[in-house]
Amino acid sequence: MFNEWIRLASVIPDYIDKLDELKCPNCKHNEIHYVYVGDLESRIGFEVVWCNNCLRGIQISRVRVPENVSMLSFKGTENLDEIIPKFKPVTPEE
């Protein structure tokens, strides 16, 4: 299942306007959400992808944020808990 989440995270930029077409690898619902957080100049940061239905997800560190995708600045991360729910991270062992 971990590899399915990695694949899902990698296609987010291609589905920005149609996230409802993406299915959760865990529960198969169309409740996928994401946030990119990083340096606004270099566009290097991390990506968090989760399912609002089953609250499973993944965080990938050290990613290049695509130009067509909005992102939050590292400087504005004090409210991340209000944006990203407490989900259970998917692990490589799954």
Provide the residue ranges of all domains of the chain, joining segments of one domain with +.
2-89
Name the pLDDT band for 76 (thresholds 50, 70, 90).
Answer: confident
Position 91, amino acid:
T
Q: Give Cβ neighbours of residue 31 (< 8 Å, ≥ 6 apart).
A: 24, 51, 52, 53, 54
Q: pTM of the predicted model, to two decimals?
A: 0.91
Structure confidence by residue, pLDDT tens digits, 13-70: 999 999 999 999 999 999 999 999 999 999 999 999 999 999 999 999 999 999 989 9
Name the pLDDT band for 73 (thresholds 50, 70, 90).
Answer: very high
Distance CA 60, CA 79 (A): 19
